[in-house]
A and B are shown apart, each in its own frame.
Chain A
Amino acid sequence: MFEDLVSRIPELVDQGKFKASDYDWALHPGGATVLSGVEKVMHLTPEHLRASYEIYITHGNSSSATIFSVMQRLTEGDTTDHIVACAFGPGIAVEMMILKRVKARSRTGTESPTETLVAEDVD
């Protein structure tokens, strides 16, 4: 799933970012074992999942609303240019997204991103 997603985004293919560990992850903190399980399966470090661990430790699992808290926490600090967001739900369903940090200095003012996101949350 991750590989398929990366392989159809031209800029990631150009930059050769094919490994899960090339990205910071905003992973839904379903539970401590979910975090450590995905960390192991995807060969990540706790550093890649730092925002997920922090939100889990400080706020617990608020189901669907939690992923936005994790994304906000991650974007408050320095991150990789691209971020993977991932959550599990009943089914078992897996939702995965690749997002790009928009940095002020990289904006030319002449082009608009096709889809943009302004994140905010209330705990």
Chain B
Amino acid sequence: MFLEHGVKLSVAACRKAIDQWGGDLSEITHVVATTCTNSANPGYDHYVIKQLGLNQSIEKVLLHGVGCSGGLAALRTAANIALGSSFRRKPARILVLACEISSTLVRSELDSIHKNQEVRIGVALFSDCASAVVIGNGFSNRYDEEPILELLDWDHRIIQETEKDLGFDVDPVGKCICPCFIIHVLTSNKAGKLF
């Protein structure tokens, strides 16, 4: 289901991002993608690259295990690649892609309702979406690019001893999510350390 609908949605998002950026496919230097609703090998990014008509040997990275923070994690990874390219005095135009087909969770949710008469939060909370952006460094032969945002700096932190508070694991009928406890973390003294 993901490889059918997710890839299609991703290709549409990427085309829109590339149109808005105004550059040519051949100028894309890297692809950084993320998803937590699919675990295909090769990853879904491979199929998106193929359908977009990008060079299939383009340097790419697919993030795993980062869940909802994957969008910014992908952007952070791309920014670091862009800086690496700057150091090598090379242009970088990186296609960053996030795609989630949360509808694949329905099996696990229905199973929970059927077996335990329990309606969990996942089925009510999550929706399907693909988003893409192009991020670049200062090296370019063109002068007609019009950036919307400039990324100044970033940070990544782990709140200690909270592994069980926000999770997303595969169960025999699909995936099960337990995001409820993040609320307690946000309102507890652990949040002070966070911000």
Contacts and interface: CB of A to CB of B under 8 A. Distances in A.
Contacts of A102: 146-150
A83 B166 contact: no
Query: Among the interface residues B19, B152, B155, B192, which one has the most CB atoms of the partner chain A within 10 A?
Result: B152
A3 B193 CA distance: 11
Secondary structure at the A interface, as helix, strand, loop or mixed, is mixed
B127 A64 contact: no
Contacts, number: 281
B48 interface: no
Interface residues of B, number: 81
Interface in A60-112: 60-69, 71, 75, 82-83, 85-102, 104, 109, 112
Q: How large is the interface on A (under 10, 10 to 19, 20 to 34, 35 or more residues)?
A: 35 or more
B75 A97 contact: yes
A105 B129 CA distance: 33
A119 B135 CA distance: 8
A8 B149 contact: no
Contacts of B19: 120
Given A5-B154, A64-B36, A122 B12 contact: yes
B26 to A, nearest CB: 17
Query: Among the interface residues A11, A82, A114, A116, which one has the most CB atoms of the partner chain B within 10 A?
Result: A116
Interface of B: 9, 12-13, 16-17, 19-21, 34-37, 65-76, 79, 82-83, 86, 98-100, 102, 121, 125-140, 143, 145-159, 162-163, 165-168, 179, 182-183, 185-187, 191-192, 194-195
